[in-house]
Amino acid sequence: MAERRRGAALEQALLDAAWAELTEHGYAGFTMDAVVKRAGTSPPVLYRRWPDRDALARAAIAHVLERARLEVPDTGSLREDVLALLRAINATRVELVALMSVQLAGYQRATGTAPAELLAAGGPDGTEAIFERAVARGEARPEKLSPRIRALPFDLLRQELLTTHAPVPDDVLAEIVDTVFLPLVR
């Protein structure tokens, strides 16, 4: 007889099952019943934690993003920190970015919440430290670091990933940092 899962192990199994359902069937085909079946549990176990599929989808996305969190570089240079983070995202997130944009389009239609908003709602992503260090070193002017400008290199990378569904060449990453981003913050 299999040991009964409880607590964090049970929650992880439920969120893993939910993510698997989202990736295989998209939000349109995402059901609480399918998650229950995949996780090998009962509906009350799932509904005690998440009242509906929207809440479960948000929790599954947050769970995957937390597991995939990258370490924020500290190279001693704004250029190198941003470039290192772009390279890490580029090397590890192509599939995740494509999957979230394609499979979760139905989520946006149904809830009005874009998957990108879920990324932002996940809490601080650590890039704040990059910008604080850059200001302290005199590499960036704080009044130039609006939220949109801070997000710009990452938004441009995401756009490249969404249009190509492939890793972005390193010279393009350098161009994003050197030609577009850095002139805006100095």
pLDDT tens digits for range 113-156: 776 666 554 444 678 999 999 999 999 999 999 999 999 999 99
The verdict on 36 and 106 lying in the same domain is: no
The verdict on 39 and 92 lying in the same domain is: no
Side-chain-side CA neighbours of residue 120 (13 Å): 11
pLDDT for 157 = 93
Residue 1 has pLDDT above 50, yes or no: no
What burial letters (b/e) apply to 41-58, b meaning 16+ CB within 10 Å? beeeebeeebeebeebbb
The verdict on 49 and 135 lying in the same domain is: no
What percent of the chain clears pLDDT 90, i.e. is strictly above it? 58
pLDDT for 43 = 96
Residue 100 lies in a domain: yes
The verdict on 56 and 76 lying in the same domain is: no
pLDDT for 115 = 63
Residues 152-167 have pLDDT tens digits of 999 999 899 888 888 9
Distances 131 to 24, 57, 124 between C-alpha atoms, Å:
37, 31, 13
User: CA 172, CA 83: separation in Å to the nearest integer?
Assistant: 11
Q: Which domain holds residue 119?
A: 72-185
What is the pTM for the complete model shown? Answer: 0.74
The verdict on 152 and 87 lying in the same domain is: yes
What percent of the chain clears pLDDT 70, i.e. is strictly above it? 91
Domain boundary among 20, 41, 64: 64
The verdict on 110 and 173 lying in the same domain is: yes
Residue 2 lies in a domain: no
Token pair for residue 38?
């995949």
pLDDT for 125 = 65
How many structural domains is the chain composed of?
2
